[in-house]
Amino acid sequence: MVRMPSSSTQSRPYHHGDLRSALLATAERTLRDKGAAALSLRELAREIGVSHAAPGRHFKDKQSLLDALALAGFGRMAETLEAADDPALPLEPRLTALARAYLGFALDNAALLELMYARKHAPDTTDVASDMAAAMDRTVGTLERLIADGQRRGEIVEGDPAALTLFLGATLHGYASFAANEMLTRESVLADTADLVHRTLHGLIRH
């Protein structure tokens, strides 16, 4: 006689070892649809179909879940920027490609991006703070390399590359925030990226 699987086995929508990934994916969907306040380890367990204690094997509390979401977000953003960067391109088209990649990620992941920057500045343990700083540095590193390359070629003014990268990042993040708050449409943000980069590089003063 064929032995049928138990109902508890049938209810689990993940394979062994995938619970952490399932929790993060479900948490990110909840974050996007309902916001961080709606996140609950118990509710995630119910939605996935596991015992309410199961998430504790991976996340001790809600804060650790939020930290993991933020770290995963920084990792994905870094991969997006690294994939878009082409050091062989001239400065302006290279920066335009990076800006479009950043803005596209920001528009597609507005709630996650807000969480990423919020968790970066949260008063966490040393290990978490260190992990968050390293993840942030990886994303910033792509822009900072562009700045440093431009300085070596005499295309960008002298100065601390980290400070210039901060100015550039603030411009991109502010533009993305306008779209997230529906002050700009997604279409206009992406269509105007080249002009945004041009104005950032060349300024508003008439020469």
1: in domain: no
The secondary structure of residue 36, as a DSSP letter, is: G
Query: Domain check: are 92 and 107 in the same one?
Result: yes
7: in domain: no
CATH of the domain at 29: 1.10.10
Query: Domain check: are 21 and 94 in the same one?
Result: no
126: in domain: yes
C-beta atoms surrounding 103 within 10 Å? 21
30: in domain: yes
Residues 6 or more apart whose CB falls under 8 angstroms from that of 30 comprise: 38, 39, 43, 44
pLDDT in tens, the chain (207 residues): 434 444 443 444 454 458 989 999 999 999 999 999 999 899 999 989 888 888 888 888 999 899 999 999 999 999 999 999 999 999 999 999 999 999 999 999 999 999 998 876 565 556 777 888 888 888 889 999 999 999 999 999 999 999 999 999 999 999 988 988 889 998 999 999 999 999 999 988 887
Q: Which of 5, 33, 60 is the last residue of a domain?
A: 60
Query: Domain check: are 50 and 72 in the same one?
Result: no
Query: Domain check: are 74 and 52 in the same one?
Result: no
Query: Domain check: are 105 and 39 in the same one?
Result: no
Q: Which residues in 49-67 are b (16+ Cβ under 10 Å) and which e?
A: ebeeebbeebbeebebbbb
CATH of the domain at 178: 1.10.357.10
53 in Cβ contact with 44 (< 8 Å):
no
d(CA 114, CA 19) in angstroms, rounded, equals 25
2: in domain: no
Q: Per the structure, how many domains does the chain have?
A: 2
Query: Domain check: are 101 and 88 in the same one?
Result: yes
Residue 91 domain boundaries: 61-202
Query: Domain check: are 140 and 68 in the same one?
Result: yes
